[in-house]
Amino acid sequence: MMQTIVSLCKRRGFVFQSSEIYGGLKSAYDYGPLGVELKRNLMNAWWRDMVHRRENIVGLDASIIMHSKVWEASGHLAGFSDPLVDCKVCKERFRADKAPRREPGSPAPIVLPDKGVAKAMLEILPARFGVELERKGKTLHGATVGARGYVCPVCGSPFLSDERQFNLMFKTSIGPVSPVDTLAQAIERGELHNMEGRDLRRAIEDRLNDGAVYLRPETAQSMFVQFLNVLNAMSMKLPFGIAQMGRSFRNEITVEHFIFRSCEFEQMEMEFFCEPGSDEEWTTYWRDERMLWWKKFSNHPERFRYRPHEKSELAHYARACFDIEYEYPWGWGELEGIANRTDYDLRKHSAASGQKLEYFDPVHKKKITPYVIEPAAGATRGMLVYLLDAYEEEKLESGDTRVVMRFHPELAPIKVAVLPLVKKNGMPEKARTVVNAFFERGINARYDEQHAIGRRYRRHDEIGTPFCLTIDGETLENDTITIRDRDTMKQRRISIGEAVAEVEALLQSS
Ligand code: ATP
């Protein structure tokens, strides 16, 4: 299924591999002519429903590079890292928190690529790890799951390295002095002389940190950092929210499943500040609102579910967290997280900056530090969800199969295609006046005259265009055109003068 979506995305101009002509940059993607429309439509719908439609939520568009102190205070510099583990059998490096969970002490069969490798491993592993193993085909039996309760995701082995932390933030430097010059000067002056091991590493890191800045790994922190400015500028009253969408960057160890996990991606996040004590109610409210929102644009609402985080999974400051998950072709996975972050972030930034990030409660006449509920969604991951959700291979009565992307009309890259039946007899001119009438109303229409009409219908089915309008011989006689519905493929005639109003009404009613 993923392969089908990936190739449709390339063929039809939704998503391309970054820098493809140079062999491609793994984990980076470019959004093509239709992808950029789909992504924008999704993000605009989020902005409209989260910001414009709500009196108590306002927007923000912060810089991607912020003061390094922001990341120090938020804990990202120290803690924004994934615990990484190496498998001692197959050498796979993986994230401990994503590894398959198994009951400690239960059997851990090790599945190797073939019998030959299994035989070779049988010679080595028992002595190395002090276990008795038995080979059946390419599988070694006899090992058991260790106390950490997980095994290698590739071969299933419980023989693993310690967990190591790895920082996910992309680092660069700002200012005229290159940190490499600073380091070179330090070496020249002999400052690193006689140093070795950890001390040497730390000394080099200190020099390289001169002017270090980071690409933000989430959009959230700027909403806390700008809390007071927004509060004062907009005279906000609790409860209120600050919303932001935009690029985030994470040096992910495992990039996987196309645009599901990439190093550069887009997020849609909102920090909702509320009175302590009302936080549980608001967590439930946002959990439900966000689920309804995702389902609203979906053909398969049953593919969405909640997953409450177990106590052991929760960040130490978070009171509760729910993931909204989608059933991807490889299984259930996260799409959005809704977390009750308490007053942790505001307090952290208050302490680190010396600025009191508080709210004056006019009823109780005292200052409080609000609690925060954070619905944090991936926009590019959301786009993948709707690409998967929309895809259908439909068997037709004729025996043919058509591929149709059943995008919700609000998300569809092109809302209406206007097709002259032939490229003559004044049909193109007529079609262009219809297209222009759509542009006047702010509706993204597309004039399309290439190939036979049947192929054009199929093309627009495949890119999810909800309506096709065709100008034919009859149009020239009586000013009527046909309107074809993508989902039912039914056609009917309407008057050309009513085309815009008709399509507008259909788009709004869906
Ligand atoms: P995961 O467990 O999948 O790594 P996360 O819990 O680290 O995700 P958050 O920090 O909660 O993710 O980010 C909020 C949302 O941002 C996620 O639900 C996801 O939709 C999106 N997101 C996070 N990391 C990536 C990524 N590398 N690529 C694409 N989207 C991402």
E strands present in 74-163:
81-86, 93-95, 110-111, 134-136, 139-141
- With tokens 């409209």, the residue in question is 48
pLDDT band at 78 (very low <50, low <70, confident <90, very high): low
Q: Please work out whether the CB of residue 250 comes within 6 Å of at least one atom of ligand 1.
A: yes
pTM, two decimals, is: 0.85
Q: What is the pLDDT of residue 201?
A: 79
Poorest-pLDDT segment among 6-20, 108-122, 325-339, 489-503: 108-122
| 314 conformational bin, left if phi > 0, alpha if psi -120 to 50, beta if neither | beta
* Span of 30-44, 62-76, 93-107, 281-295 with lowest mean pLDDT: 93-107
Which helix (H) or strand (E) segment holds residue 79: the answer is helix 76-79
CA atoms 403, 407, 412, 414: torsion sign:
positive
Ligand 1 atom 16: residue of nearest CA: 378
Q: What is the pLDDT of residues 349-380, one digit of tens each?
A: 999 999 999 999 988 899 999 999 999 999 99
Residue 197 has pLDDT above 90, yes or no: no
Residue 222 structure tokens: 């700027």
Q: Is the CB of 125 under 6 A from ligand 1?
A: no
Q: Which residue has the higher pLDDT, 181 or 446?
A: 446
Average pLDDT value for residue range 230-238: 95
Q: Is 376 in the pocket of ligand 1 (CB under 6 A)?
A: yes
Identify residue 256 by its one-letter amino acid code.
Answer: E
Partners of residue 271 on adjacent β-strands: 242
Tell me the C-alpha distance between 341 and 272, whole Å.
Answer: 10
Ramachandran angles phi, psi of 65, nearest 5°: -95, 120
Return the ∠ at Cα 47 (arms to 246 and 443), rounded to 5°: 105
Inform me whether the pLDDT recorded for 198 exceeds 80.
no
> Does ligand 1 have an atom closer than 6 angstroms to the CB of 336?
yes
The pLDDT value given to residue 434: 95
Confidence of residue 81 (pLDDT cuts 50, 70, 90): low
pLDDT of residue 246: 97
How are beta strands 416-420 and 445-447 bridged, if at all? parallel
Name the band, by pLDDT with cuts 50, 70 and 90, for residue 381: very high
Nearest atom, ligand 1, residue 339 CA: 11
Mean pLDDT value across residues 148-171: 88
Residue nearest to atom 23 of ligand 1 (CA): 378
Characterize the bridge pairing of strands 264-274 and 304-308: unpaired
Phi, psi values for residue 223, rounded to 5°: -70, -30
What confidence score (pLDDT) does residue 82 get? 64
Residue 500's alpha-carbon distances to 437, 472, 509, in angstroms, are: 7, 18, 14
From the CB of 252, is ligand 1 less than 6 Å away? yes
Task: Please indicate whether residue 39, judged by its CB atom, sits closer than 6 Å to ligand 1.
Answer: no
Q: Find how far residue 353's CA is from the centre of its chain.
A: 31
- 166: pLDDT strictly greater than 80: no
> Rounded mean pLDDT of 88-105?
85
Is the pLDDT score of 507 beyond 70?
yes
381 ligand 1 Cβ < 6 A: yes
Q: Is the CB of 76 under 6 A from ligand 1?
A: no
Minimal-distance CA residue to ligand 1 atom 22: 378
CA distances from 318 to 77, 87, 232, 300, 352 (A): 19, 31, 27, 31, 20
Our mutation pick for probing the ligand 1 site, out of 167, 168, 261, counting the most ligand atoms within 8 A of Cβ, is 261
- Asked if residue 432 has pLDDT above 60, the reply is yes
Average the pLDDT over 294-311 and give the result: 94
- H-helix segments, 135-176: none
Q: Would the pLDDT of 446 be above 90?
A: yes
At residue 340, the pLDDT reads 95
Ligand 1 within 6 A of CB of 334: yes
Ligand 1 within 6 A of 245 CB? no
Average pLDDT, the chain: 92
The pLDDT of 99-117, averaged and rounded, is 91
The residue whose C-alpha atom lies closest to atom 10 belonging to ligand 1 is 218
Has residue 279 got a pLDDT over 80? yes
pLDDT value at residue 37: 98
Res. 389 pLDDT band, cuts 50 70 90: very high
Q: For residue 312, what pLDDT is reported?
A: 64
Report CA(378)–ligand 1 centroid distance (Å).
Answer: 6
User: DSSP assignment, residue 160?
Assistant: B
Structure-token pair, residue 322: 């729910």
- Mutual orientation of helices 379-390 and 2-12 as an angle, nearest 10°? 100
Ligand 1 pocket, residue 267 CB under 6 Å: yes
